Each structure stands twice: as C-alpha cells, then as structure tokens.
Amino acid sequence: MPQPYVSSRRLVANSLSAMLAAIEVYNKPRMEYRDEVTVVLVVNAWELALKATLRQAGKRIFYPKKRNEPYRTLAAEDALKQVVINKLFPTGVDGTALAANVTALVGYRNRAVHLYAADLGEMVYPFLQTSVLNYRDFMLDRFNKDLADSITWQLLPLGAKAPTEPIQFMKTEPATSAVTEVQDFIEDLRELLDKAQAAGADMQRVAAVYDVHLNSVKAVTRADLIVSVAHEGERVMVKKTDPNQTHPYTRTKLLERVNAKRKGPGKDRTLTTHDHQALCWKENLRDDPRMAWKHSDGVTYVWSGDAMRHMVDLTDEQYADVRVEYQEALRKRKSEAKS
C-alpha cells in the first residue's frame, strides 16, 4: 500500500479551522466541559500546523509502517519533537518556549481524554491564551496566514478577560486532599517550566496572563506553581501576585537576557547601559508599569519580560537613532544649564 498523499495546504486550512473552533467554544457564555474541549481543539490545531510545517520542509509525517496495519501519522508530541529537531520554528518565535507551551497542553489533553481532569481551568488558561498568540505568530510567519483575519479581535483570545488576577498557583507542596492525578499534572508542569527556564526560553511564550489590551501581565515560572486543591482535586485556587514576580530583572540581568536573545538581521551589536538609558529617555519606559517598577522606598527600577521583549525587537539602526537623539538632548540641556 503506497503512503497516502497529504496536502500541506489542507493541513493548514484544517489547523486554522480547529483553532477558530477552540476560540469560539471557549467564548460561549455557557459551556460545560469548556476547558477540556478547548484544549483538545487547540492541540489538534497545533498538531496539524506542525505536520504542515514538516510536510512543507519535505520531512516525514508518518510513523514507519507496520505489517498489515495502515499508515499512522505522527502524534502531536512527536510532530513537535520533529519540528524542534529539524529547527523549523520561524526565527521570530522562541521554539523552546513554544514547545514547552504545547507540551503542557498535550499533557492536559491526554489526562482529559483518557481519564478525567479536575477543575484546573484557572491553571490551564494562561497556557491556552499564550498558545493562541503563539499560534498566530507561528502561522503568520510560516504560512502567511493571519488568524486575526477570521476573528473579531474586540474579544480577547479565549475570553474577554483573564478569569482571575495574574497567576499564582498552589503551595509548594499540594494539599493532601489533592488526588494523585492532579498532583502528577502539577509536578509535570513544574518540571516543564524548570526545563524551559533553564534553557533560556522566553517564559512569556510558555504561559502568561494578558489584560484586555493584550499587554502581558505575568509570565509563569516554576515559582508560580503553588497549588491549593480542594477535596478530590475539585478546585484550584488562584491568588494575586506582586510586582517582584512580574518584574524580575535588574538592569544588568535585563541587558544580559536581551543580548542573549537578539538575533537576526540588523541585530548584531551588543547593547550597553547607555542604549538602555537612551531608550528609557526616548520612550519613558520607567513610567510604564508594564515595563518598569520601583518600590516607593526604593532607588533602582526592576524590569519585566515586556521590557525584555521590547528591547529585543528593536534593531541596531533604531538604537543608533535613539542614541543620537539622546546625545543631542544632553548637549542641549548642558548648554541651557551654562547659560
């Protein structure tokens, strides 16, 4: 039996349909089994998109055929592994972070489909929401297909607002009343986040909560996976976080992360504190709570993942222009002071 022909164009079309269905299901005002159905559809959308990527690159999307059995296409997790191994992620997308995000959703999908999942909606939501935004960037870069063309973007992906305050889950050790399945899932997420963070992944691409303007509010790290589970894992509680968690970088650490991530055309120069100072002056970054935070009794500012991504996105030419304007402003200020 010959290997079936698979059209990458049809894979892309069906992938987009699956993601749109996921968003529509999640945004229904009343829907039982909402999280489980949404995750199944989102994972399916990624599986098809990853297979389309492999197909487009001339890579295999079938397992080796077994005697007297039909051909089987790669499962989502194996398709993801092949895209990672073959380095097929677009340059503008952090592949390590994206893989961690999809892996988390696959883990939840497997539990929901093959057994059951406790009420973990508040835990899964940041991964889902981030996955939609990752998916849009991935499809636009890889296939020139913009998910936004088919969506009324007055609604947030997967909801008009986050279900709770920015994320902080669970205690260091889950409650003894938590069922084993829930504890296992929580520990899997902790391990996943640990590995992604150790690999230098952009944690905003793994899981984050966004406000209604699609401004990132909080990236999720292992430290946030603190759980409080009610009887039989029926409920996961979420508590408010604080700026010490949302803005984890000193200026030195910020520049280290930015320089490590700046790659591609027009991003060859190592940025310095002068570049940061000039950009702060030009764009008033210190006055933007999404970018910077300073305790009322503090002296120095700390910086967020948003600040890191913003600095990564700018080109050497843009930094050069900002430095020129900043130097001119300093000269003018010095001249006025003398007069």
Euclidean distance between CA atoms 219 and 205, whole angstroms: 8
pTM exceeds 0.85, yes or no: no
> What proportion of the chain, given as a percentage, has pLDDT over 90?
34
Give the best-scoring range by mean pLDDT among 87-96, 141-150, 308-317. 308-317
List the one residue out of 8, 109, 21, 3 whose CA is nearest residue 49: 8
Residue 198 pLDDT greater than 90, yes or no: no
- Supply the DSSP string of 59-109, one letter for each residue: ---BPPPPTTS---BPPHHHHHHHHHHTT-S-TTS-HHHHHHHHHHHHHHH
Residue 147, CA atoms < 13 Å, CB-side half-sphere: 28
The amino acid present at 199, given as its one-letter code, is A
Tens digit of pLDDT for each residue in 148-170? 777 755 544 444 444 443 333 33
Tens digit of pLDDT for each residue in 109-129? 888 776 665 566 667 888 888
Residue 176, pLDDT score: 47
Tens digit of pLDDT for each residue in 203-243? 878 877 554 444 455 565 655 555 544 444 444 444 445 56
Helices within the chain (DSSP H only): 8-26, 34-56, 76-85, 95-114, 121-143, 180-198, 243-246, 251-261, 273-283, 305-313, 316-338
Domain boundaries along the sequence of the chain: 8-241, 246-338
Residue 207, CA atoms < 13 Å, CB-side half-sphere: 31
Euclidean distance between CA atoms 307 and 250, whole angstroms: 11
